[in-house]
Amino acid sequence: MSSDRLPILSQGLATLTLWLMIAMLCLNAAVWLVPAWGTLPGQHGFDFSLSDRLMAMLALDPAALPPWQRLGALLLSSIPLLVISRGLLHLRALFQGYASGLYFSPQSATHMGGLGHCVALWVLCDFLCEPLLTVWLTFTQPPGERLLSVSLEPSAVVALFLAACVVVIARILRRASDLHAENQQFI
């Protein structure tokens, strides 16, 4: 790819990252606030992440829940999404820096490291919010039908590995930016 197209591509990815972040938060909210859009077994509708997994596992109809319980579920299921949104903001800032020609800058390394840390924190929040959300969604059920679910999916392990790789690459980028700044002083 020619270097003159790189800023345009980077700015496009920055914009796409922002829209992705907005879409995932809105879809998660829609699952709980507009239950007709939610997913029931055998039906098609909008769903997202932790909300989708739990609705499928519990064969849950969000429309059957009282509004206060749906609102609590929205808040709990949004915690991991807000954490990954913070990571996406770092990614967006990284692409915006690249669009401005800041390839070997301390800011680029900071944003890349922030992305890696947010991905790792996202996995942790998803792991911790699942049991909270299952308890929240089933505590009105009669004894014996309440549920506490804890799971660690293979995709979470892959995400943790990728997060660690991104953090290491960010440290390499930080060192490269320091060497670049040092070399600029000699020129």
Residue 66 belongs to what domain range?
Answer: 6-186
Mean pLDDT lowest for which of 49-53, 117-121, 147-151? 49-53
- 8 Å CB contact between 73 and 140: no
pLDDT tens column, 88-135: 999 999 999 999 988 888 999 999 999 999 999 999 999 999 999 999
| pLDDT value, residue 119 | 97
Both tokens of residue 110? 């900071």
When pLDDT is averaged across residues 166-183 and rounded to a whole number, the result is 90
Judge whether 138 lies within some domain: yes
The size of the chain, in residues, is 187
Instruction: Compute the distance between CA of residue 41 and CA of residue 32 in angstroms, rounded to an integer.
Output: 16
DSSP 8-state class, residue 103: S
Judge whether 1 lies within some domain: no
Q: How much of the chain is in helix, strand and coil states, percent to nearest 5? A: 75, 0, 25
pLDDT tens column, 34-50: 877 654 444 444 445 67
When pLDDT is averaged across residues 57-86 and rounded to a whole number, the result is 90
Judge whether 82 lies within some domain: yes
